[in-house]
Amino acid sequence: MASSDPLHVVAFPWLAFGHILPFLELSKSLARRGHRVSFISTPRNIRRLPQIPPDLSPRIDFIPFPLPHVDGLPANAESTNDVPPDKVPNLKKALDGLKPRFADFVKEKNPNWILVDFAQYWVPSVAAEVGVPCAFFSIYMASSLAFAGPPSDLLDGSSWRTVEQLTKPPHWIITPPPPPPLSSSSSFPFLDR
């Protein structure tokens, strides 16, 4: 696409700064190339972000989506920094409550692309309804994703494993056989003289 045709990209990260900040860096890279980005997060998370360079700020719009109330989610909790680990499922439930607002936003703005994180499983169906391409932006290394399992298994829950099972490669990762044991004579033949 020619540089005279800038894209409008929606970036929607999971509510953890280890995800929000890489999405922000990607958004800045897109803005540097002349594209417009709508960066969606919660009001408090947006306030906690670092300043955008002045030359990029006209092309990055921060779109605050307040989380709906969810029983068990502490007041003002808008990221994983704000909750203990046992409350993260409540944060995820609150994020899921943003689906209707997100759908309305996408229908109104009609972006060229949506970049989504792992937690918003419902975004691809919203994007498909309005004919907007959607891409998964992973902050994880490919090897970590491979270890987690095929998406089809993750969706149906068949690849969830116990802690003990996580200590060895899963069956879908083919590993070479271990090398034969070393001995001093095979490793250092000059020592056998």
Please identify every residue annotated as catalytic: 19, 117
Terminal-to-terminal C-alpha distance of the chain:
69
Cα–Cα distance measured from residue 35 to residue 59, given in angstroms and rounded to the nearest whole number: 7
The amino acid that residue 66 corresponds to is: P
Cα–Cα distance measured from residue 104 to residue 41, given in angstroms and rounded to the nearest whole number: 15
The amino acid that residue 108 corresponds to is: E
Whether the Cβ atoms of residue 47 and residue 151 lie closer than 8 Å to each other? no
DSSP output for 42-92: -HHHHHTSPPPPTTTGGGEEEEE-PPPP-TTSPTT--SGGGS-GGGHHHHH
